[in-house]
Amino acid sequence: MTAPEWIAAFARELEIAPPSPEEVDHLLALAGVAAHASARQAAPICTWLAARAGVEPARALASATALAERLGADAAGTDTAA
């Protein structure tokens, strides 16, 4: 099963719509920023926090990138374009 197929199946299980391809890109970039700015464990927790707060993935990515920059963390290698 591919990642998109699994995500779609999990979304059906949760009775919600799956994320759009653009949202997936933003979520993966958010996870990358969190993992590079801290420990890898921060990645899934930060995506959960964004969802829990009801924050759109693009806004969460912008917030995480700004936080990483303020803290002087290395967010290099993440794709913040979009």
3 state SS of 50 = helix
Q: What percent of the chain has pLDDT over 90?
A: 87
Q: How confident is the model at residue 8 (pLDDT cuts 50, 70, 90)?
A: very high
**CA separation for the pair 67, 30 (Å, rounded):** 11
How high is the pLDDT of residue 72? Answer: 87
Q: Which two tokens stand for residue 6?
A: 């699994």
Distances from the Cα of 78 to the Cα of 8, 11, 19, 40, angstroms = 25, 26, 20, 14
Kindly list the domain boundaries of the chain, sorted by start residue. 20-82
